[in-house]
Amino acid sequence: MPAAGVADLGVRPAIGLGTVPALLVCLAAPAFFVLMVPWLGWALLAAGLAIAVAIERGRVTRSAPSLTRDLSLIAIGLLIVSSIPLKAELDNWAMLRFTLALGGAVVVPYVISRWVYRDRATGFPWRGGHRWKRWQWLWLVAVLVLGWLILPFYFITSGVYQNWPVVDSPEMVARLFVGVGAVGIWDELFFICTCFALLRRHFADGAANVLQAIVFVSFLWELGYQAWGPVLTIPFALLQAVIFLRTRSLGYVVTVHLLFDAVVFAVLVHAHNPGMLDWLFFVSP
């Protein structure tokens, strides 16, 4: 199992000297995506990497994963994502912009890790090596039910559905379907297989999970999950990482995410087209 999966990484601390630089790097995400203050995000990244370098300068064991290198990969991904506005848009240029920036945030750290640092710190274990268990199938059903119960109430009563473009034609509906699904897949590639995997090399699973959730939830905030959205996105981000550890399968966590996003897609269509899906949801715009 590659390092980005769930290999046995030995004893890792929940809190240690490395927590400070890692936290600073992860806090750059809310600076970029929530506060919208780019210079603060740059300063936090620079401070985090500088402290990591200082911590590792006197390190005797060179065989251990480098905190500086791993944090630099997260920083590179954040810088690439922060180079574009994340407001949900569905025109050709916006979709191309998202494709290049989000794709680059996954590909560039992977390439640097594999061919520059030569440590294969990230990877994408798709199948997990075993068939899905009964609880996994039951969880897929639960995701659909929970999404149906929670998401219409959240999007419509808070008004955050207006953070997404109006989808009132077949073309726009198709674009929304592709966009929501593509971003959902990317979420798992970057936040779980990149950020979480890199942080797990240095911190206990719980600590690494909290750190990656800071980045995950901040991105979703700018994307449109605002108002009381973090009440939903924080547990979702934490739970996806836990499921990834349990299943060893990127394919499964992507499936979970896409099912949840399928409900998001349907709710957005419903909210922007009153009367169209009233039969499906119990909350109407």
212-244 exposure pattern, b = at least 16 Cβ within 10 A, e = fewer = bbbbbbbbbbbbbbbeebbebbbebbbbbbebb
Distance (Å, rounded) from C-alpha 233 to C-alpha 244? Answer: 16
Structure tokens at 170: 């077949």
**In this predicted model, what pLDDT tens digit does every residue of 23-67 receive, in sequence order?**
999 999 999 999 999 999 999 999 999 999 999 987 755 668 999
Q: Is 16 exposed, middle or buried (0-12, 13-18, 19+ CB in 10 A)?
A: middle
Structure tokens at 249: 């399968």
**In this predicted model, what pLDDT tens digit does every residue of 247-262 receive, in sequence order?**
999 999 999 999 999 9
pLDDT-derived band at 129, boundaries 50, 70, 90: confident
Residue 18 has a pLDDT of 95
Is 52 within 8 Å of 67 (Cβ atoms)? yes
**In this predicted model, what pLDDT tens digit does every residue of 136-195 receive, in sequence order?**
999 999 999 999 999 999 999 999 999 999 999 999 999 999 999 999 999 999 999 999
Round the CA-based radius of gyration of the chain to a whole number and report it.
19
